[in-house]
Amino acid sequence: MGKLRHRAGRAASALLVGCAMLALILRPNDAITYAKDGLRLCADVIIPSLFPFFVLSQMIVELGFAKYVGAAFERVMRPLFGVSGACATALALGFVGGYPTGAKTAISLYEGGLCTRTEAERMLAFCNNSGPAFILGVVGAGVFGSSGVGLLLYLAHAAASILVGIVFRFWGRNSSASDSRLAAPSQAVGLAPAFSNSVAGALGSTLAICAFVIFFTVVIKMLCLTGAIPFVASLAARLPFVDETTVRQLLTGLIEISSGVWSLKGAAVGMRTELALAAFMLGWAGLSVHCQVLSFIGRSGLSTKTYILGKLLHGVISAALVWCVSGALGLAKPVSAYLAEQVAGAASMTLPTALAMSAGGAVIGVGWLWLGCALHKYRKKGL
């Protein structure tokens, strides 16, 4: 039976690769155009927004700051999430840096010997989150034309992440691997080598992410162009209470989050449904983000099970929270009706504004971490 499943999997993989090759042969100009779109996305958004956070997260580990953070937040992180206090850096950077900063930081902490294998796997379930610039700017202002909607989505996203972390605090409770570390805690290095190592490591991680972004940009466009996604959506629409447009938007968001949320813009269905879809897409993050994270996890040897389950649960909880809150607020009109009520200038956000929001969030997050460290030090000295 196992061999049969293995052969079926290989046959399905070969079929998919063959279909992809055929699509590239039949539509070469379109594939080139979409790849250029992916390159522009990397140059305009991915590299300037992610690269600084990757450098920052790596330097926190290299300089030994995570140890002080761990001492300050041990009493919060251990009872709430079942992880060491050092993991607070991954949680904080995950909230302000966006995908996949939190996961990359959690893996760096494990590789640096600052948390156990089980703790790292628990963190992967809930620390990889969307940043405020994307949710408030792109989704809130750009898609729904409302900063209030963006704030609602971000608060639900953050609350769902915390709830997922609480659920996964019991993961691996009886595992013998719960006390194992990849290595002994690394010693802090000087500023110059820490900066050099962080920049080199961040560059490699950013380039790997750009490769996935370009690939999935081409994939999602080709699936729409060849009619694959519309065909699946039309089949699903034959089921009772299933809307073809909603299924098409959901399928797009399952593959690539940016394309998924942009497909919600100007939709004619109810606002409540669109908000729940957006919340699920933000929590799930999409296959493109998953491949980025899995490339880091593969090198560390950590299990991918908690990460996938955590992101699925994150999407479901986010959608449920937004559905309940939006129902209480009476958001039931079509999205287009709310868009018409918004000012035209609120429907877009420039890159400098998005970067300013991300940088501001990072400064606030790091400030809270340093404040926690200072309070712990003073309390320890009895001042």
Average pLDDT over residues 149-164: 93
pLDDT at 258: 81
Q: Determine, yes or no, domain membership for 64.
A: yes
Mean pLDDT of the 262-289 span: 85
What's the pLDDT at 72? Answer: 81
Say yes or no to pLDDT of 351 above 70.
no
Task: Look at residue 26 and tell me whether its pLDDT is greater than 70.
Answer: yes
Give the count of beta carbons closer than 10 Å to the beta carbon of residue 185.
16
How high is the pLDDT of residue 375?
Answer: 54
Residue 96, Cβ neighbours under 10 Å: how many?
24
Q: Is the pLDDT of residue 246 over 90?
A: no
Domains: count for the chain: 1
pLDDT at 340: 42
For the packed helices 88-97 and 147-167, what is the interaxial angle rounded to 10 degrees? 160
**Structure confidence at residue 233 (pLDDT):** 85
Prediction pTM value: 0.76
Q: Is the pLDDT of residue 341 over 50?
A: no
Q: Spell out a b/e string for 260-281, using b for 16 or more CB atoms within 10 Å of the CB, else e.
A: bbbbbbebebbbbbbbbbbbbb
> How far is Cα 275 from Cα 294, in angstroms, rounded to an integer?
28
350 — pLDDT class (breaks 50, 70, 90): low
Of the pLDDT bands very low, low, confident and very high (cuts 50, 70, 90), residue 349 is very low
With b for 16 or more beta-carbon neighbours within 10 A and e for fewer, the 315-350 pattern comes to bbbbbebbbebbeeeebeebbeebbeebeeebeebe
7 lies in a domain?
A: no
Q: Which residues of 104-141 are buried (b: 16+ CB within 10 A; e: fewer)?
A: bbbbbbbbbbbbbbbbbbbbbbbbbbbbbbbbbbbbbb
- Spatial contact of 369 and 92, defined as CB atoms under 8 Å apart: yes
Q: Would you tell me how many other CB atoms lie within 10 Å of the CB of residue 166?
A: 13
- Give the pLDDT confidence score for residue 324 in this predicted structure: 93
What's the domain range around 213?
A: 27-381
Highest mean pLDDT among 256-260, 265-269, 374-378: 256-260
- pLDDT number for residue 338: 43
Helices (H), 98-169: 101-111, 117-124, 132, 147-167
Q: What is the mean pLDDT of residues 371-377?
A: 55
pLDDT in tens, 102-124: 888 899 888 888 889 999 999 99
To the nearest 10°, report the CA torsion of 271, 276, 277, 281: 140
Q: Is the dihedral of CA 158, 103, 361, 71 positive or negative?
A: positive
Query: Three-state DSSP class for 187?
Result: coil
Residue 373: which residues within 8 A CB-CB, separation 6 or more?
A: 68, 69, 71, 72
In angstroms, the CA 314 to CA 227 distance is: 30
- Residue 153 resides in a domain: yes
* Angle subtended at Cα 374 by Cα 154 and Cα 188, rounded to the nearest 5 degrees: 90
Mean pLDDT of 46-56: 79
Whole-number average pLDDT of the chain: 79
In a domain, 18, yes or no: no
Segment of 2-6, 62-66, 310-314, 347-351 carrying the highest mean pLDDT? 310-314
How would residue 361 be classed by pLDDT, with cut points 50, 70 and 90?
Answer: low
| pLDDT of res. 342 | 39
Q: Which residue has the tokens 């996938």?
A: 308
Q: Which position has the higher pLDDT, 340 or 25?
A: 25
Q: Does 8 map to a domain?
A: no
Domain assignment present for residue 58? The answer is yes
- The predicted model gives 37-48 an average pLDDT of 81
Q: What tokens were used for 304? A: 């991918």
Asked, for residue 17, whether it belongs to a domain, the answer is no
Cβ–Cβ < 8 Å for 249, 263 = yes
| Res 308 pLDDT > 90 | yes
pLDDT at 311: 95
Percent of the chain with pLDDT over 90: 16
pLDDT number for residue 161:
94
Q: Greater confidence, 317 or 69? A: 317
Determine if the peptide bond prior to 132 is cis (ω within 30°).
no
pLDDT of residue 38: 84
Per-residue confidence band for 262, with pLDDT thresholds at 50, 70 and 90: confident
Side-chain half-sphere CA neighbours of 289 within 13 A:
30
Amino acid at 170: F
With 70 as the cut, is the pLDDT of residue 206 above it? Answer: yes
Q: Token match 């079942």: residue?
A: 82
Distance between CA atoms of residues 151 and 147, nearest Å: 6
pLDDT classification of 152: cutoffs 50, 70, 90: very high
Q: Is the pLDDT of residue 155 over 90?
A: yes
Are 275 and 327 a contacting pair, CB within 8 Å?
no
How confident is the model over 51-69, as a mean pLDDT? 77
Q: How far apart are the first and last CA of the chain?
A: 67
Alpha helix positions (H), the chain: 2-26, 28-41, 47-62, 65-81, 88-97, 101-111, 117-124, 132, 147-167, 191-225, 228-236, 244-255, 257-262, 271-284, 287-300, 305-329, 335-341, 351-381
Instruction: Provide the pLDDT for residue 164.
Output: 95
Q: Tell me the average pLDDT across 96-106.
A: 85
Q: Is residue 146 part of a domain?
A: yes
